[in-house]
Structure formats: C-alpha cells, structure tokens
Structure 1
Amino acid sequence: MLTSIRPGEQKFGEKVSYLNPEDDLEEQLLASEAKYVLLGLSEDIGVQGNHGIPGTRYAWEVAIKAILNVQHNSMIKASKVLVLGHLDFTKAYAQLEGHSGDAFVAQCRKLTEAIDKDVTDIIRKIVASGKKPIVIGGGHNNAYGILKGTSLATGSKINALNIDAHTDLRKRESRHSGNGFSWALSEGFLNKYFIFGLHENYTSKKLFAKMSKEPRIAFNTFEELFVRKDKGVDFEVNESISFVKGGKFGIEVDMDAIAYMPSSARTPSGLSLEMVRHMVFQASRSKNAAYLHICEAAPDIQNPKEMALTGKAMAYLISDFIRK
C-alpha cells in the first residue's frame, strides 16, 4: 500500500481512479471521467545509449509514492486523475546482459527503438480517449514517442516547450536520450520547439548556428536570464509559452535543468524548483497544453533521503499541472 491513510485527511491516493488490468485498456480510458492519466516509464536504457549516468528507471517508483500522499483538496483534485501504472521494461534489460563497451551502447540504442514503439502506442491511446498524459520517469528519449503518439492521436504536428539545460538535438545516427527532438522534427511529429534555460557551456557553436537558421526552433539561455541578465525572466516565460501555445503542445521538464536535482546530468547551476513549478503551472493554463513529461530524474537508490526528495519534487510539478 503506497498511500499512508490518516484520520481526518483525504490523500491523493484515496481519490484517484485506477484501471482494472483484466479489462480492455481503451474501453476503460474512454469510460473514465478523469482528465489526466498518470503513466510511468521505468527505464534508463536511452540514457545509457547516450553515454549518460543510469538511474532514471527509479523516478516513477519515488514519484508515485510521493504524489499519492499529497492532500486531495479544492486546489488539487485527485478525482481528475487516473493512475494507469508503468511500462515494465524488464525484458529489455535482460537483452543487455553480456554486453559491454561499444556493444553495450549499440544494444541500448537498438532497444530504445523498441521502447519508442511501446511509448508511442500507449500515448496514442491515452490522447485518443480525450485525456492528457502525465508521464514520469525514463530518459528524454521518450519525448519522441510521446510527441509521435500525441501527433498520431490528434492528426496534427505537436509543439513542445522544453525546460532543459540541453537541446537534445543531436544527430540522428541512432536512437538515444540526446536526439528525441531531432527525430520528432525530421519525421514531422514536432512543429515548433522552444528550449527554456539552455546552458551555453554545453551547447556547441555549430548547434547555435543551426538553431538560428530554423524558424521552428526558439530558445533562451540560462546565462542570458540569470548571469548577464540580458532578458527579463517573467517576459521570457510568457514568450516561451506564446511561441508554442498556438497549437497543441507538450510541456517537457528535464530534471537536470534544476540546480542540484538528482538527475542523469546533475548541475550546481540551474533553475530553481520554484521557477520550474511556476512555468509548468502557467503553461498548463493554456487549452492547448496536451501533456506533461517529467524525465531524467535519477535518484540514488542507496540514499532514502535523496529518493524521497526527488519524488516530492516531481509530485509538486504533477500537482502544479493539474492545480486549479
């Protein structure tokens, strides 16, 4: 039992709805009156395919425990949420056994393609039922499947607001956590793309030049906002949302954008959690906000305090997305 029951209180886990695994998924999605569907992706295969630090497979585990134990009240209505559960990639991990070095990375990239298909299929079903997915866990490779599934369900290209220290626009030589948006753009699932808080230290001159020539891509940098202070933060928040809200758009939160957050690329210099919470809340107010994707959180499973802290951070972001 993940929900801690207390007399005189109503926890989130007591009021959300759940699916019956024995019944048809699509029929239950259509029948549910919930507005949001909570889905976990327990994998870090895409991250390792990008030579990243593993651990994102544990994000769902800590997030679901944290969100089920927040209070159900007039501002955060748990009755609007359906808990779908998580995709289990145990069989995929079995296929990594015996691999090392370059062969291990190559196998991770191959398996990421299979993960793409699973993510695309489940997101398509959720969106086709008229609901908004809230996707937790895994690497940023899953942005591709989420964008594709949403695009297929709506019959239109999807915009994306990505709160991230990195562009994830690496070359499309194969599939991994660094090129989800590259593939989504090239295959016509992603239309307008805004990166908020990009770190100049980790973005190449060539990539800056490429983005400047692409009208579908816009960005601001962390240094513009908080080091040189060339731009007003409130203005830039509104500009980033305005860039994408003309069509259906996804809100992407890479946890490595947040200072000191346990993630696959932890940073001592980044956005505050309060800043990201504000952005998620503001963007969710738009009628065209189609989903929330929180990825790259990688808590140390040997550190209970870090696990709890990371889960609580994600629970805040989830509640801000549905907050009244």
Structure 2
Amino acid sequence: MDNLKLFTTSELNSILKKRPKETKLGEHILLLPNFKSIYEQLLKLDVTYVVFGIKEDVGVFSNYGNTGTSNAWDTTIKILLNIQSNGLTHAKKIVILGCLEFPKYQEQLNELDQNKKKDILKARKKVEKIDETVSYLVSQIVSAGKIPIIIGGGHNNAYGTIKGTSLALKKPINTINFDAHHDFRAEEGRHSGNGFSYAYAEGFLKNYFIFGLHENYTSDTIFRTLEKLKTVKYNTFESVMVKREKSFDAEMERALEHISSRHFGLEIDCDAIQDIPSSAMTPSGFSVNKARAFVNHFGKQENVSYLHICEAVPTPETETQVGKLISYLITDFIRAHESI
C-alpha cells in the first residue's frame, strides 16, 4: 500500500522512555516487519487489536471545518506507547501497524481556498481517494479476524471504515456514533459531514444511532430526515445532560438494543467532548469520564468490530492532553473487550 507507513522498531525505540523496574506498553506490543500481505501476516499472529492512524485534513477542509486532525496520530502514539504495561493493558494483544499518510494531498490543501466552491470540489475528489485506501486497509484487518483501532483524521473516514468492515464481513454493519453532529449531510461530494449518509445510501450501514446530537447544530431538515428513517435513531445532548429528560445509562442501553444484534462499529468524535481541541471544539459537551464510560460499555459487546476516534486537533500546547485522552479511550476499549 503506497500510503501506508509502517511503524518501525527504530521509531518505537526513539519514542520509548524506559524506567527501571517498570515496563511500558511499547516494550510488549507487536510490529509488522514488512508490507508483504498484511492480511497473511495478521492471520498468523495471536493478537486482537490493530492500531493505526490516518494523517489527513482533507475531509475536514472539504466540510469547511478547522484543519489539524492530521496531527492526532503522532500526538497519540507518543503517549500510548509510554503508559504502563500490566495485566490490565493487554499489550501482547496489540499490533501497532503505523499510519496512512497523504502528503501530496496535504500539501495541495495549502493552495486551496475554502471560500471557493471549485476548490471545495477538488478537495472532495481527494476524499474519495482516501476512502478507497481506508476501506481497503480496514477490510484486510477485519478479514484477518482482528479489530481495527483507528486514530486521527476527520470523520470522513467513518465511511471507509464502515465500508471496509462491511466488505470483509460480506454484509451491512450497524454503527453507534458518539457525536455532537449527525454527519448525515447530503451526498454532495465526500467530506467529513456525510460519511454515514454515503455508507447508508450504498448499503454498507444498516442501523445507525447518533448519541448526543447538539440541538443548536442540527437543522429541521435533518431532524425530519432522521425521524423518517426507522433504522436511524438518536438522542440529543440537551435531552440527556441539560433537560435531564433521559438518563445517560438508559440511553446507552437503548442505543445498544438498536445496534448490537449484528456487527457494529464504535465511533468517537472528539467534538462531543467538552473543551477537547477538535475541528469543532465545544464548551458544552460530555465529560471525558462520560466518554470513557461510553467506550467501556460498547467495548464490552461481542459484536463490536472496530473503534474509530477522530476529529481531535492537537496543538503544541495541548498535545499531551489530547494524547492522554485518546490513549485512555484506546485502553478502555481493550480492557472492556478483553473482559468478555
């Protein structure tokens, strides 16, 4: 794969911060030695989780959002590999694969103007190419019987992840999306706001639950569309956390009932978490601990097929905060799934 940059032993050694009488996660994870048949290599390994990043801002740019999502992978891997390795982190069940990179596309973004429709259309064409790469890699991982854990990039990558999982399983999948936004916008060219609508229209996504929609950022048209679709359900952030009409735990159970009867994907958009640097950062959102409890709850389910954490936009000042958050979510998911 031209766009896949494998994580190497030399990179691992440059990141690891070893301490006497301690072992770090990075000392026990596995790496792949080469690009030759990723599927065949994974098939032979006694691992469950394949962690990789997506370094791109094209999908967010194409949706008129704030770029910087390409930085989440580098930020996360430095923190993740240096957490403690113990009986609760299951390091030997993890492969760190590397990341998908799109340097040419990233460079071309500097020449595009979000205020020009022709430039937005150009960027959306590039998102289609990214989709192909993501769906292929995810399909290889899922076909090998492993669970992808995908970090970084915009929420446009939900489409490739859903498609790749669906193709590997040879049937549509369900998805739960912890998000302030529906990402069910019109099929107007691919971007970070319509990954789920495209996956739904093309038959890769069956049941869809949006957890925590923000009422201020959801149009009447979308609310009417969501109400018409029996296979799509949602709640709003306000109904759960502000008006307290619904309880967080009861809503997780309602969502689970909607999606857990078949293989499903777990989507975590950092836009939903209060004060986390992201492409649409919010002063009012779920706490980090609520997000962690959410990942734990759905990670415990036998049918969960992937974890996708997206839209984080770390800066030099906030990279430790973001890296720790995403590392917590990854390890919460693994701990939960290993407890089944």
TM-score tier (shorter): over 0.9
Partner of 1:33: 46
Q: Aligned partner of 1:309: which letter? A: Q
**For the Cα contact (< 8 Å) 2:267–2:309, is it kept in 1?**
yes
Q: Aligned partner of 1:191: which letter? A: K
Shift of 1:31: 1.2
Shift of 1:97: 5.0
1:307 maps to 2:319? yes
Shift of 1:106: 1.8
Structure 1 pair 142–22 and aligned structure 2 pair: CA distance change class (3 A): closer
Shift of 1:75: 1.3
Shift of 1:94: 3.6
Structure 2 distance, partners of 1:158, 1:99, is 35
State the secondary structure of the residue aligned to 2:239: helix
Structure 1 distance, partners of 2:37, 2:140, is 12
Partner of 1:88: 101
Pairing partner for 1:68 from 77, 81, 84: 81
Note the residue ranges of structure 2 that are not aligned, 5 or more in a row.
1-13
Shift of 1:240: 1.2
Structure 2 distance, partners of 1:274, 1:165, is 16
Map Cα deviations across residues 171-207 of structure 1 (whole Å, 9 max, x no partner).
0010000000000000000000001111001001111
Q: Aligned partner of 1:320: which letter? A: D
State the secondary structure of the residue aligned to 1:17: coil
When normalised by structure 2's length, the TM-score is 0.92
**For the Cα contact (< 8 Å) 1:193–1:217, is it kept in 2?**
yes
Partner of 1:322: 334
Q: Aligned partner of 1:108: which letter? A: A
Partner of 2:6: none
Pairing partner for 2:230 from 179, 194, 215: 215
Note the residue ranges of structure 1 that are not aligned, 5 or more in a row.
none
Shift of 1:210: 1.0
Structure 2 distance, partners of 1:94, 1:71, is 37
Pairing partner for 2:220 from 183, 193, 205: 205
Structure 2 distance, partners of 1:254, 1:239, is 20
Q: Aligned partner of 1:275: which letter? A: K
Q: Aligned partner of 2:32: which letter? A: L
Pairing partner for 2:279 from 261, 264, 269: 264
- TM alignment of 1:53-132, pairs within 5 A: 53-96=66-109, 98-100=111-113, 101-102=115-116, 103-132=118-147
**For the Cα contact (< 8 Å) 1:96–1:107, is it kept in 2?**
no
Q: Aligned partner of 1:230: which letter? A: E
Partner of 1:243: 258
Shift of 1:248: 0.2
Q: Aligned partner of 1:54: which letter? A: T
Partner of 1:195: 210
Structure 2 distance, partners of 1:161, 1:57, is 23
Structure 2 distance, partners of 1:315, 1:98, is 34
Aligned residues: 321
Pairing partner for 1:24 from 28, 37, 57: 37
Structure 1 distance, partners of 2:265, 2:289, is 20
When normalised by structure 1's length, the TM-score is 0.97
**For the Cα contact (< 8 Å) 1:63–1:315, is it kept in 2?**
yes
Structure 1 distance, partners of 2:155, 2:72, is 13
**For the Cα contact (< 8 Å) 1:96–1:104, is it kept in 2?**
no
Shift of 1:3: 1.6
**For the Cα contact (< 8 Å) 1:255–1:296, is it kept in 2?**
yes
Q: Aligned partner of 1:87: which letter? A: L
Map Cα deviations across residues 48-73 of structure 1 (whole Å, 9 max, x no partner).
00000000000001111111111111
Shifted more, 76-85 versus 231-240: the winner is 231-240
Structure 2 distance, partners of 1:220, 1:90, is 38
Structure 1 pair 223–22 and aligned structure 2 pair: CA distance change class (3 A): closer
Q: CA RMSD in A?
A: 1.1
Shift of 1:96: 3.6
Partner of 2:8: none
